[in-house]
Amino acid sequence: MSIDEIFKRMLKSKIFRNRKVLMPDYIPKELPHREREIERIAITLAPALRKDRPNNLFIYGLTGTGKTAAVKYVLSRLESKSSELGANVKSIYVNIRHRDTPYRILTDIATELNVRVPFTGLSTGEVFGRLVSKLKELNGIYIIVLDEIDFLIRKHGDDVLYKLTRINELLNRAKVSIIGITNSVKFVESLDPRVRSSLGEEEMVFPPYNAEQLKDILGQRAKIAFRENVLDTEVIPLCAALAAREHGDARRALDLLRVAGEIAERMGDSKVRKKHVMVAREEIERDRVGDVVRSLPLHSKLVLASILAASGGGRINVTTGEIYEWYKRVVGIIGIEKVTFRRVSGIIGELDMLGIIQTRVISRGRYGKTRMIVIAADPKTIFSSLEEDPMLDPVLDIVEQEALPKDERRRI
DNA sequence: CCTCCACAGGAAGCGCAGGAGT
DNA sequence: ACTCCTGCGCTTCCTGTGGAGG
């Protein structure tokens, strides 16, 4: 197929009418099953229209429960209403997962306010100072949304949050409200009580969607996204059911539907069918694992290779100690300095958080306390992603021997 | 009931790279 | 050219702990 043909095919898609509405950053005109939450956010933020500072708001809920969408939705309505009324309300949205240092967050906020700051070189205090002096000149209500704040707290503590929640004391006319969004409920406990109480002037919980609700969401978007009658009847229920199993994640459900459509299109099929969804599921997972593994630093890759070897390709559980033994051997083969046990333990923790492996702390009594480690992603995908790093060449042969003995084809 | 293993995981801090400001 | 800043991957040192075996 020539490039021109590919482009031509894409332009007159047989499947999609408007693929954009299935993208994760699309904010639909209506958010089914979030009416109550939207109402509460609106009630909380409404005082901004009277030029009063809205209470800070703290929102919890698992990924894909519509937190971000609901907040953005209310904010865009609020902003258009306020410009209608001549009130000065501005919102600033920062996603902390991608900008996870105090410095970057502050520069992002500053940039939104047209304060020019270099992306490195200054102290965080200096950036904060510039931010404050800019805000001092300004008038109006500023609503700062900090999405996925748990990423910040985990690595850098709540210092910035504390400063931000107290920023109003330094201002005269402008007023700042903060909306914090987090996926993990547990993290709230680790907050400084002062931050917690000021950030949580209002609190809300977004419950996960169930399969029925996911079906509604998918149905609503599918009407716009797909051409008529291209979806097999089972497709939406299947996407909904698969995502409901993974804690009711609407983003997951939409991804599945979109990728299934893309696959159907790629295969030249005129309809999206069940089998496309199943392929989509594997493809999404493979991409995710591949991206994560590829971007790992060298020693993390080596530890991962060691886990692969020690566990026989994920068939048996292994302990941190066993992995370290393997790791030392692997490092010896390539002839580089080894890192400490403590570091390897840390790396194992990081791999766990990334969902590549799963760990569980257990006690074997007399024989000590340790972590039991299982590979959580597809070992073959991990292996082939590791293969892309030429540094690992000398060790992967041995890893492969351990990981895939005798019968070559292995599926979970 | 107590011990003691094999680690977990917190705290502090170090050396380096990358970038500003002067 | 020099100083100062941050993030990162890492080391060092540390205290804490569930439960099998004595």
User: What pLDDT digit, counting tens, does each position of A375-400 carry?
Assistant: 999 999 999 999 998 889 889 988 88
Residue with nearest Cα to nucleotide B5 C1'? A368
Q: What is the mean pLDDT of residues A234-247?
A: 90
Taking the CA of residue A370 and the C1' sugar atom of nucleotide C16, their distance in angstroms comes to: 13
H or E element, residue A261: helix A250-266
pLDDT number for residue A55:
93
- Tokens (6 digits) for A7: 């482009």
Return the pLDDT at A100. Answer: 64
Percent of chain A with pLDDT over 90: 45
Average pLDDT, integer, range A246-265: 90
Q: Comparing A306 with A110, which gets the higher pLDDT?
A: A306
pLDDT at position A315 is 84
What does the pLDDT read at residue A408?
46
The tens digit of pLDDT for each residue in A274-286 reads 999 999 999 999 9
Give the CA A47 to C1' B17 distance in Å: 47
* Every domain of chain A and the residues it spans: 35-206, 209-292, 296-408
Q: What are the DSSP calls for A105-138, one per residue? A: HHHHHHHHTT----SSSS-HHHHHHHHHHHHHH-
Of A67-71, A146-150, A396-400, the one with minimum mean pLDDT is A146-150
Closest residue, by C-alpha, to the C1' of C18: A363
- From the CA of A380 to the C1' of C8: give the distance in Å: 29
Residues around strand C, C-beta < 7 Å: A 100-104, 120-125, 155-156, 297-300, 337-340, 342-343, 346-347, 363-369
Res A73: pLDDT: 93
Distance A365 CA to B3 C1' (A): 11
- pTM assigned to the model: 0.76
What's the CA A102/C1' C5 distance, rounded, in angstroms? 13
Is the pLDDT score of A72 beyond 80?
Answer: yes
pLDDT reported for residue A410: 40
Residue A101 CA to C3 C1' — how many Å? 23
A209-292 CATH, one of 1.10.150.120, 1.10.940.10, 1.10.760.10, 1.10.8.60: 1.10.8.60
Q: Mean pLDDT over residues A331-348, rounded?
A: 93
Give strand C nucleotides closer than 7 A to any protein Cβ: 4-14, 16-21
Does A411 score more than 60 pLDDT?
Answer: no
Asked if residue A247 has pLDDT above 90, the reply is no
What is residue A147's three-state secondary structure? Answer: strand
> How far apart are alpha carbons A224 and A137 in whole angstroms?
44
Q: What is the largest CA-CA distance in chain A?
A: 74
pLDDT band at A371 (very low <50, low <70, confident <90, very high): very high
pLDDT at A191: 66
Cβ burial of A87 (10 Å; 0-12, 13-18, 19+) is: middle
Does position A407 have pLDDT exceeding 60, yes or no?
A: no
CB under 7 Å from strand B: A 118-122, 319-322, 342, 345, 348-349, 361, 364-371
Q: Which nucleotide is nearest to A120 (CA to C1')?
A: B19
pLDDT, residue A177, reads 92
What is the predicted pLDDT for the residue at A412? 34
Q: Which CATH architecture has domain A35-206?
A: 3-Layer(aba) Sandwich (3.40)
How confident is the model at residue A121, as a pLDDT?
63
Residue closest to B21 C1′ by Cα: A121
Query: Closest residue to C7 by CA to C1' distance?
Result: A101
Q: Which of A247, A250, A260, A373 is nearest to A317 (CA)?
A: A373
Rounded mean pLDDT, A18-39: 89
Nearest DNA or RNA nucleotide to A367 (CA to C1')? B5
More confident residue, A12 or A221: A221
Nucleotide nearest to A340 (CA to C1'): C11
pLDDT of A253 over the 90 cut = yes
Phi, psi dihedral angles at A261 (to 5 degrees): -60, -45
CATH number for region A296-408: 1.10.10.10
pLDDT in tens, A195-224: 777 777 888 999 999 999 999 999 999 999
- Indicate the average pLDDT of chain A: 85
Q: Find the helix or strand (DSSP H, E) in which A164 lies.
A: helix A159-165
Residue A397: name the closest of A408, A383, A410, A377 by CA. A383
Bases on strand B under 7 Å from any protein CB: 3-11, 18-21
Nearest nucleotide (C1') to the CA of residue A302? C9
Reported confidence tier of residue A139, pLDDT bands at 50, 70, 90: confident
Quickly give A332 CA vs B14 C1' distance in Å. Answer: 25
Q: What pLDDT, on a 0 to 100 scale, did the predictor assign at position A29?
A: 85
Beta strand pairing call for A202-206 and A357-363: unpaired
Instruction: Give the pLDDT score at A409.
Output: 40
